[in-house]
Amino acid sequence: MLAVLDADYRDNCAQCACICFAEWESAEAVESYCVVVDGVEPYQPGAFFKRELPGLLKVLAGVKVPLEAILVDAYVWLAPNRGGLGWHLYEALEHQVPVIGVAKTRYRPAEAVAIPLYRRGSQNPLWITTAGIDIEDAVMMVSSMHGNSRIPTMLKLADTRCRIWGEPPA
């Protein structure tokens, strides 16, 4: 099983979503989890993990099946030897589950460690970084994901789900 994590913020609360899917090419989710976390840290440049990691770990606690890999809408590495949200997640999971960062926005210091992935003819790349999995393999896997646009279907689904406050997971 594979998973995509994402979060949305309102005031000092976060709603975190986890979308589980069976295969890289899957068009539909197998399961969906969602949690609300109160009292999240304020945004700190360069320390985004302090804000988002607690909620991601809380939503992952509800997943009862072993995960092959986790994708996050963030960087695993911000620069050589400088971990981002994905690295902190990998560390918190005690290196048991590979983490693939699929960032939508360019972050210049990460260009030394990220591979740009141009999906479906897009002029703007996704920036792939990894922990616990070969980066070239991860690029191929993300490239193979379902969807006819730059953003794979499962990432769009996680983004949409975390923004729908007050509804139980589908």
pLDDT digits (tens, 9 = 90+) for 89-145: 999 999 999 999 999 999 898 989 999 999 988 999 999 999 999 999 999 999 999
In whole angstroms, how far apart are CA 81 and each of 10, 67, 85, 109?
Answer: 32, 26, 13, 11
Contacting residues for 84 by C-beta, under 8 A, at least 6 apart:
48, 49, 74, 75, 76, 77, 78, 101, 110, 129
Q: State the pLDDT confidence band at 168, using cuts at 50, 70 and 90.
A: low
Provide the number of structural domains found in the chain. 1
Bridge partners (DSSP) of residue 35 are: 16
Specify if 144 maps to a domain. Answer: yes
Assign residue 9 the CATH number of its domain: 3.30.2170.10
pLDDT at 57: 97
Specify if 82 maps to a domain. Answer: yes
Specify if 126 maps to a domain. Answer: yes
pTM summary value: 0.94
90-127 core/surface letters (b: 16 or more CB in 10 A; e: else): bebbeeebbbbbbbeeebeebeebbbebebeeeeebbb
Specify if 121 maps to a domain. Answer: yes
Specify if 94 maps to a domain. Answer: yes
Specify if 108 maps to a domain. Answer: yes
Specify if 169 maps to a domain. Answer: no
Q: State the pLDDT confidence band at 40, using cuts at 50, 70 and 90.
A: confident
DSSP designation for 43: P
Cα separation of 8 and 1, whole Å? 24
Specify if 70 maps to a domain. Answer: yes
Predicted confidence (pLDDT) at residue 170 exceeds the cutoff of 80:
no
Structural domain of 95: 2-162
Average pLDDT, integer, range 42-52? 79
Label each residue of 22-39 as H, E or C. Answer: CCCCCCCCCEEEEEEEEC
